[in-house]
Every structure is written in structure tokens, then in C-alpha cells.
């Protein structure tokens, strides 16, 4: 298949509560990603390189699914609910929306999966959209993560300039939903917040089960994945 660069992580991840954004200038181009034959971020996605469903086992988004998280941190604990809905066409690509709700605030992120199983992040409603004002889709989840892989999760100058690195494939956490091992562990940093660092723990077949971000932690309490 042609690279989505020639043709996007919470994970971001747990989009609304834990994603770091800010103001700043455009950063330098991505270093080599370690993701074979992919151009990340992708400046010109080809719609023919994408499929309708997002079923990457590390980041599944079947319509009708829900994930509930308990978020604890410096203030009071709160609940985060994540659902899936159809998304808009972005840069010519039909997307799937991952909708996050907490404390009456809603954040919606748009994703699409290529024919090789890589999931790309195409934007966040009201903040940035791939193909507009220099923004480009980044890699939300590779099809086959490898320890040491590094990649941009998105590129929107001054808004989304995160870089993710795969740290482990054997992580273990205990959350309200249970104890999980064999986890993908991804660390994310941003030039827009040099002191910040997020660590995401992902269960194969389920998606994110925990994310730690500057003293705030989101832990999975329940999940229902639709068929």
C-alpha cells in the first residue's frame, strides 16, 4: 500500500481531560519515526488508502462502544465517558469520531484507519483540522507498535505538536476495571509544554486503560465494545 503520507496518543488519547495543547511557533519536522514506510505527519492523505472502520486492536473504535474512566488528580475526582460516532470527511477522508465527556464538557476527535491498520488523528472539533492552516494528520496508533518507535500524533502549529514514543509492550496496571498486563506503554511529550509528559497504558483488544498526565490519572472503570 502507498504510504498515507503519499496517499494519525490519551490517544491521544483521553482527549478532553488529558491532552496538552498550547500556543507557540511551528516545531521542526519529525525525526525518523521507526515506523516503516510511513510519512508522519502526512501532508496529503489519499482517501483510497483508508478503510471505513477503525478496528486496530490497540485502538478499536466500533460504533456503539463506550469506555468509562475515573479521573483523579489535584482537584476532585470526576468521571470521563468516551463514546464513538460517525465523523466528518476531513482532507477527503471519512473519519470516526471519538467523543469524550466530563463535567458537562465535550471534546470530539476524528480518526481514520489506513489499509495497513495504522490509525491516524485528523483533528479535534473546534481546535484543528488536517488540511487547514498548516495542520496535518498524525499517527494515533501504529498497526504493529515496536519498542523505540517514535512518531508525531498530529501537527497543528501552536496547537498540537506532540511526539509519542513506544516505551514497552509488557506494561502492567491495576485499575477499577481489573488488572491488565501485556500492555503497550506510550510516552508523549510536546514542544509546547517542555515540562509535561503523558504516559498511556493500552490493552490489546480494548484500548487505553490508564493515562497519567501531570498529576492527573484516568483509570478505566468499565467498557463495552460493540460487535
Q: How many residues does the chain have?
A: 227
Nearest to 171 by CA among 180, 163, 179, 183: 183
pLDDT for residue 11: 40
Q: Please say if the pLDDT value at position 3 is more than 50.
A: no
Cα separation, 185 vs 172, in Å, equals: 9
Contact 32, 86 (CB under 8 A): no
Phi-psi region of 207 (alpha: psi -120 to 50; beta: other; left: phi over 0): left
pLDDT for residue 227: 87
Q: Please say if the pLDDT value at position 20 is more than 50.
A: no
The enclosing H or E element of 18 equals helix 15-18
pLDDT level of residue 74 (50, 70, 90 thresholds) = low
Nearest to 98 by CA among 118, 87, 84: 84
- Count CB atoms within 10 A of the CB of residue 126: 9
Cell of 114: 489506513
Q: State pTM to two decimals.
A: 0.85
The mean pLDDT value for 58-76 works out to 91
Domains in the chain: boundaries: 15-224
pLDDT for residue 35: 79
Q: Please say if the pLDDT value at position 17 is more than 70.
A: no
Cα separation, 225 vs 131, in Å, equals: 31
The mean pLDDT value for 181-187 works out to 98
The mean pLDDT value for 58-83 works out to 92
pLDDT for residue 23: 34
pLDDT level of residue 165 (50, 70, 90 thresholds) = very high
Average pLDDT, the chain: 87
pLDDT digits over 122-161, tens only? 999 999 999 999 999 999 999 999 999 999 999 999 999 9
pLDDT digits over 28-50, tens only? 454 444 477 899 999 999 999 99
Q: Please say if the pLDDT value at position 100 is more than 90.
A: yes
CATH no. of 15-224: 2.40.360
Contact 33, 23 (CB under 8 A): no
Q: Please say if the pLDDT value at position 173 is more than 80.
A: yes
Cα separation, 195 vs 150, in Å, equals: 19
Amino acid at each position: 500500500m502507498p504510504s498515507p503520507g503519499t496517499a494519525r496518543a490519551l490517544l491521544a488519547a483521553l482527549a478532553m481531560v488529558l491532552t496538552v495543547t498550547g500556543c507557540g511557533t511551528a516545531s521542526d519536522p519529525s525525526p525518523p519515526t521507526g515506523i516503516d514506510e510511513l510519512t508522519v505527519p502526512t501532508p496529503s492523505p489519499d482517501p483510497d488508502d483508508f478503510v471505513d472502520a477503525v478496528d486496530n486492536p490497540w485502538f478499536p473504535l466500533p460504533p456503539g462502544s463506550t469506555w468509562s474512566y475515573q479521573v483523579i488528580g489535584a482537584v476532585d475526582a470526576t468521571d470521563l465517558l468516551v463514546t464513538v460516532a460517525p465523523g466528518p470527511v476531513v482532507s477527503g477522508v471519512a473519519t470516526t469520531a471519538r467523543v469524550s465527556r466530563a463535567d458537562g464538557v465535550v471534546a470530539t476527535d476524528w480518526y481514520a484507519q489506513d489499509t495497513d491498520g495504522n490509525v491516524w488523528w485528523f483533528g479535534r472539533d473546534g481546535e484543528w483540522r488536517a488540511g487547514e492552516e498548516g495542520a496535518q494528520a498524525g499517527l494515533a496508533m501504529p498497526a504493529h507498535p515496536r519498542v523505540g518507535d517514535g512518531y508525531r500524533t498530529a501537527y497543528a502549529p501552536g496547537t498540537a505538536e506532540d511526539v509519542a514514543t513506544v516505551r514497552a509492550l509488557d506494561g502492567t496496571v491495576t485499575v477499577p476495571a481489573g488488572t491488565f498486563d501485556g500492555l503497550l506503554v506510550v510516552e508523549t511529550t510536546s514542544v509546547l509544554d517542555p515540562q509535561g509528559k503523558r504516559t498511556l497504558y493500552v490493552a490489546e483488544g480494548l484500548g487505553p486503560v490508564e493515562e497519567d498526565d501531570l498529576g492527573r490519572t484516568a483509570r478505566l472503570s468499565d467498557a463495552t465494545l460493540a460487535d
